Chain A
């Protein structure tokens, strides 16, 4: 840059400041949206701001939130995964079947639950690996691969459940249910897991070589390849990370109802993708933020919580309200072009 006269430098500094400010506003857009919703919610029903209600909302956000954190990696790298809801349902069903089967031969229910949890995480990782391999080595579009597995996973769950529900045996269920229902320092376990997943996710994305590679691939895959980045391995890893996240979410989900049915995890993929995008990650990949995803996920469940706590509009219009809020928030954080 050529040395510029003082006056221009000052004005350009002011320009920088304005640009930084506008960027900041874009980044905090979802947060502003969430705060406004919170104020509206409290105004409409004072019970909204109670600790119990906030903990309820955060706990139920945990499933989608954890999946959305994994999804952030996949989307930043330029991919997509439509199968997460079906995958969660199949993992839930399979782990319940496994736990019921081994409960007879293993005396300690705690061990049964531990085996079930490990199985769920491994299964999630394997499903993710399969996606990654089909997408990179098989060179099939991620949209198609995961649209295919979306159907496959749910069909197998329905088949295993015989169209009904797969239910966890009572004895195991009693041991397992604290994983969802109990609290640590007054905060329910799922919220802790959500928080830890978000922190680890943020750390990996922003502070490791791997995280930078993910962003580089999403922003320009060819250039990343020329820069000797092992594109395929990095991409496969994003799907494995997402698979493990789905496994974690399922591990928290199963103790809630102790059952899996063909309606389990229905449309979770859309909620997870919406959380990521509302949170400021570009659907075309290249850049994104874990914190934004977390706020996006909370925002989505706050909307339906507020609608449940009030009856000012017809229940038939719930989905419309959600749609309007999503579009407004996305507008607030729209990408700089």
Chain B
């Protein structure tokens, strides 16, 4: 037993030293992301693969390996494999969940791998070298501010929330914060539509049954906005003046671009943040420069004027 442990330690040290050696001449970047199980994650996979091609063209010495995982446990195994089999010295990871991946990532980092964490921060910041994320409070704030402006500071709003997570809480809290500063505006209710079209359809149907007058809907996600709009259409209600989704899905950016009377704006929370993270990390690693500890990619309001800039017809999202 003891000898096995010793062997493992020795081989671990060998791996570590070979990694340190490899680092000097060649960057091997592992990219670990959740599998494309919903629209936004599909976008992440698309952007990761697209950026892999771009980076390998731009920096001839670099090698990029993209892996997708179906669960937090699978992802933990996968990054181990990336380190032992693919001999990566740089890891860009969008963790499935923060807590269960903190230890596995810390293990990888302790072996000399440079770690950039994307979107969902680890519970222990020491386990990462750099953090690139979208702006979740901003996501709620920008939507609420646009809504307040558009409704002239008064009106009744219903909210559809995502899956109960820290991300969702941050967004909704920031949204409510802005609405509170407008005494004429009121949030009637906020229920979970789970970032899912079908659930959002049902929740919206029931909102329409329950509230006879709704001025605006914050669907907080473009997939949910699809379900919301179908429910409004079916009920033939005309009191709703505004539906705002979010995350910049191509279908919804197109609606904003074409001047849709109800979908007047969108807020970015682009899956392309994985591309930004990969580019920033690659540049820092190849040139040997340092990378900022935290990079926040702001949530930007998309309106008719700037929509063309955020429209990517090739992306699945």
Contact = CB atoms under 8 A, between A and B. Distances in A.
Interface string B33-47: 001111101110110
Interface string A289-322: 0000000000000001100110100011010000
A263 interface: yes
A161 B42 contact: yes
Contacts of A167: 251
B37 A161 contact: no
Interface stretch (B90-98, B135-143, B191-199, B294-302): B191-199
Contacts of B223: 165, 261, 263
Contacts of B206: 53, 56, 305, 308-309
A15 interface: no
B315 to A, nearest CB: 8
Interface stretch (B74-82, B123-131, B226-234): B226-234
Interface string A42-85: 00010100101100100010000000000000000000000000
> What is the predominant secondary structure among interface residues of chain A facing chain B?
helix
A163 B41 contact: yes
Contact of B189 (A264, A266, A311): A311
A221 to B, nearest CB: 36
Interface string A134-169: 000000000000000000000000100111110100
Given A266-B196, A315-B192, A181 B42 contact: no
A9 interface: no
Contacts, number: 93
A161 B316 contact: yes
A315 B43 contact: no
A309 B38 contact: no
B197 A259 contact: yes
B287 interface: no
Contacts of B315: 164
B207 interface: yes
Contact of B230 (A47, A50, A256, A311): A256
A14 interface: no
B190 A261 contact: no
Q: Chain A interface residue count: which class? A: 20 to 34
A47 B223 CA distance: 28
A164 B316 contact: yes
Contacts of A304: 202
Given A50-B209, A261-B223, A304-B202, A315 B46 contact: no
Contacts of A161: 42, 316
Contacts of A316: 164
Contacts of B103: none
Nearest to B195: A263
A257 B36 contact: no
B201 interface: yes
B209 A309 contact: yes
A255 B74 CA distance: 36
B317 interface: yes
A315 B209 CA distance: 18
A257 B226 contact: yes
B203 interface: yes
Greatest chain A CB density within 10 A among B35, B192, B210 is at B210
B264 interface: no
Interface of A: 45, 47, 50, 52-53, 56, 60, 158, 161-165, 167, 181, 256-257, 259, 261-264, 266, 304-305, 308-309, 311, 315-316, 318
Interface of B: 35-39, 41-43, 45-46, 161, 164, 189-192, 194-198, 201-203, 205-207, 209-210, 223, 226-227, 230, 234, 251, 315-317
9 contacts: A60-B202, A162-B316, A163-B38, A163-B41, A262-B37, A305-B206, A308-B207, A309-B206, A315-B192
